[in-house]
């Protein structure tokens, strides 16, 4: 296949480039580098099956030649990023998705949207199934990301129903692994960075809020299977093993040998920060034969090794 991946220099986009190239496909990567980094794809320089285009997908997208698939992963994806770039986040979710769908439609290509568990907001249903409509604060600080992705899902399904575009929607739950930015503000790089510097881990609130952490290779496998499936409605991809942020901090300190402990900052939680997060992956299991294979400790060991090298 010949594939366009937007957000190709980001954490997930770069791993997707690797996977599709490894499977023998041709990949065109596109990124405006607002939050992405060419370091993530530097190892692909000279690969005759990969081409990178620096471009902002909120503008009209033109690709010469045929395309078999478009994977739209361009977007700020961490709170620190979408709070810093709220307008850009909304634009890439709306205009960027519209333009990516447009090129998929014009090429007769399959389209896959990177959506998020954040479309469920601070959920009143637990664990979250794909049928749950969510509990989102549209005007809160996190709303720029949540609503951008909700709109992206809506326009994706509109193109599917109106224009017959062959669409896929993956709802991504907390994913971690190498190539995350150390300063992206998410809990995994925050904790690992603090631990490797010998600092106490900063837990926001009392640490009772829960997350479910999925290692990046598991997520990429799920996305690959979803693209090759014939299912159009959203599919949760994530690890259903749920734990509190406090428990997670304790595991990070143990694996890094950090003796500095944990401190609590009650006023650091962003308004609308979900109290619980756990995917119901029944649909992924039944439709894709997918479930996560990498346990938390193994995944964290790989991630810690990556950040240790970056900090050295």
Tell me what pLDDT residue 266 has.
Answer: 79
**Is residue 176 over pLDDT 70?**
yes
- Reported as half-sphere exposure (CB side, CA atoms, 13 A), residue 167 has a value of 29
Residues ≥6 apart with Cβ < 8 Å to 300: 176, 192, 251, 252, 255
Confidence of residue 184 (pLDDT cuts 50, 70, 90): confident
Residues ≥6 apart with Cβ < 8 Å to 192: 252, 256, 300, 303, 304, 307
Q: What is the pLDDT of residues 55-69, one digit of tens each?
A: 999 999 999 999 999
- Measured between its terminal Cα atoms, the distance across the chain in Å is 39
Q: What is the pLDDT of residues 82-107, one digit of tens each?
A: 999 999 999 999 999 999 999 999 99
161 and 12 in one domain? yes
Containing 235, the helix (H) or strand (E) segment is strand 234-237
> In total, how many domains does the chain have?
2
For residues 222-246, one letter each, b for 16 or more C-beta atoms within 10 angstroms of the residue's C-beta and e for the rest, the string is bbbbbbeeeeeebbbbbbbebebbb
**Is residue 187 over pLDDT 80?**
yes
200 and 139 in one domain? no
147 and 42 in one domain? yes
**Is residue 273 over pLDDT 80?**
no
Has 145 been annotated as catalytic?
yes
Which entry of 82, 85, 145, 215 is annotated as an active-site residue? Answer: 145
Confidence of residue 268 (pLDDT cuts 50, 70, 90): low
162 and 52 in one domain? yes
Looking at residues 201-218, what average pLDDT do you find? 94
45 and 33 in one domain? yes
230 and 144 in one domain? yes
Q: Is the pTM of this model over 0.75?
A: yes
On average, the pLDDT of the chain sits at 95
59 and 138 in one domain? yes
Q: Are 228 and 69 in contact (CB under 8 A)?
A: no
Range of the domain at 149: 2-176+215-239+282-288
């Amino acid at each position: 296949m010949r594939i366009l991946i937007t957000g190709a220099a980001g954490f997930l986009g770069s791993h997707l480039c690797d996977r599709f190239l490894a499977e023998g496909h041709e990949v065109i990567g596109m990124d405006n580098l607002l939050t992405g980094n060419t370091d993530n794809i530097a190892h692909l320089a000279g690969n005759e099956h990969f081409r990178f285009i620096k471009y902002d997908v909120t503008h009209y997208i033109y690709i010469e030649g045929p395309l078999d698939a478009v994977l739209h992963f361009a977007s700020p994806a961490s709170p620190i990023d979408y709070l810093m770039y709220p307008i850009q986040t909304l634009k890439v979710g709306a205009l960027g998705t519209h333009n990516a769908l447009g090129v998929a439609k014009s090429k007769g290509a399959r389209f896959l949207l990177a959506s998020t568990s954040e479309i469920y907001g601070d959920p009143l249903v637990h664990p979250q199934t794909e049928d749950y409509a969510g509990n989102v604060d549209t005007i809160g600080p996190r709303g720029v990301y949540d609503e951008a992705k909700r709109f992206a899902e809506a326009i994706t399904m509109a193109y599917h129903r109106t224009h017959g575009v062959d669409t896929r929607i993956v709802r991504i739950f907390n994913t971690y692994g190498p190539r995350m930015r150390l300063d992206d503000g998410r809990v995994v790089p925050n904790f690992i960075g603090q631990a490797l510097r010998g600092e106490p881990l900063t837990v926001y609130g009392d640490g009772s809020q829960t997350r479910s952490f999925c290692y990046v290779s598991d997520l990429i496998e799920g996305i690959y299977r979803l693209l090759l499936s014939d299912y159009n409605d959203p599919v949760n991809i994530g690890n259903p093993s749920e734990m509190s942020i406090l428990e997670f901090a304790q595991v990070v300190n143990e694996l890094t040998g950090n003796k500095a402990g944990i401190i609590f900052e009650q006023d650091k939680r962003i308004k609308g920060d979900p109290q619980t997060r756990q995917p119901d992956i029944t649909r992924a299991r039944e439709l894709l034969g997918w479930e996560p294979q990498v346990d938390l400790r193994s995944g964290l060991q790989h991630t810690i090794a990556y950040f240790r090298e970056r900090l050295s």
